[in-house]
Structure 1
């Protein structure tokens, strides 16, 4: 799992770097990095849900089933939190959302470094769900999902 967490970290750091510098030298834009975070978070949740007895290679149908399962669970969480928080994310800056993603990544890394042990914290899966949902919010704010790019 640490390698997936590190991949998410690389994507979030690139977003932060582009936001700070105001320019980029690689053609892939920030939206593609948020999409990458979404996909890596889903991969992480899928792997967390597997047992040690599960085969190393899964049939495509099983992967699709797991992808749908974790996507739906995370969407349900998004809807529930959005209800409780009143869509506060709409008034946030994308740079603040990036900060939250980076903080959640640091927390996941701490949990991984402590072999999954936490004193007071949501589990790793909840942090992946939150990072995924914050990435969706960023894409919505950039009009990538519900604007002219959709």
Structure 2
């Protein structure tokens, strides 16, 4: 399991670096995004990955990896928005946003480690296309929960679904590396 932990950290380091660089370029403009807007951004990325996996040719010179990074980063932003709420104006500097990013990653990684223990690293035998489909399924669930004003009867909430999408995307990135 230490290999999984190390590989997870390597993927997150790549995502975190891009997050910090974009925060430096754009600030925390993403803080104005409502959850459905973030969900739609993730959905677009997941749909593009699925297209790349099924199409013989792509017209944009970016592969699956950059889209999985986007899924991870947008999902972390969504978790931050769930915790802090949406604002009318950007309100975080790079240091503050990175601290919140790292907190959400720590919680999500612990969830992965707990599930990984219980499931015996079953994800290692899965195809990247199956992980993509699971992300799309989670997105459809999130959209339904959002349409239900965040209420669920017996199901996990939004946060659990975003965390699962992060972990599936990290697993896909590990497979692709």
Q: Any gaps of 5 or more consecutive residues in structure 2?
A: 1-34
Counterpart Cα distance in 2 of 1:38 and 1:30:
12
The SS at the match of 2:62 is coil
Question: In the alignment, what sits opposite 1:114?
Answer: 148
Counterpart Cα distance in 2 of 1:46 and 1:18:
29
Deviates more, 1:106-115 or 1:43-52: 43-52
Write the mapping of 1:127-138 to structure 2, written as runs, cut at 5 A. 127-138=161-172
Q: Deviations 1:71-93 (Å, cap 9, x if unpaired)?
A: 11111111111111001001111
TM-score, normalization by structure 2: 0.77
Question: In the alignment, what sits opposite 1:13?
Answer: 47
Q: Which has the higher helix share?
A: 2
Question: In the alignment, what sits opposite 1:24?
Answer: 58
Counterpart Cα distance in 2 of 1:75 and 1:26:
31
Q: Deviations 1:13-59 (Å, cap 9, x if unpaired)?
A: 00011111133111010010000000000000011011479x85123
Counterpart Cα distance in 2 of 1:56 and 1:14:
28
Identify the match of residue 69 of structure 2 among 32, 35, 38. Answer: 35
TM-score, normalization by structure 1: 0.90
Inter-CA distance 52–139: structure 2 relative to 1 (3 Å threshold): closer
Question: In the alignment, what sits opposite 2:112?
Answer: 78
RMSD over aligned Cα atoms: 1.7
Tell me, yes or no, if structure 1 residue 68 matches structure 2 residue 102: yes
Question: In the alignment, what sits opposite 2:17?
Answer: none
Inter-CA distance 56–135: structure 2 relative to 1 (3 Å threshold): same
Tell me, yes or no, if structure 1 residue 92 matches structure 2 residue 126: yes
Size of the alignment, in residue pairs?
A: 143
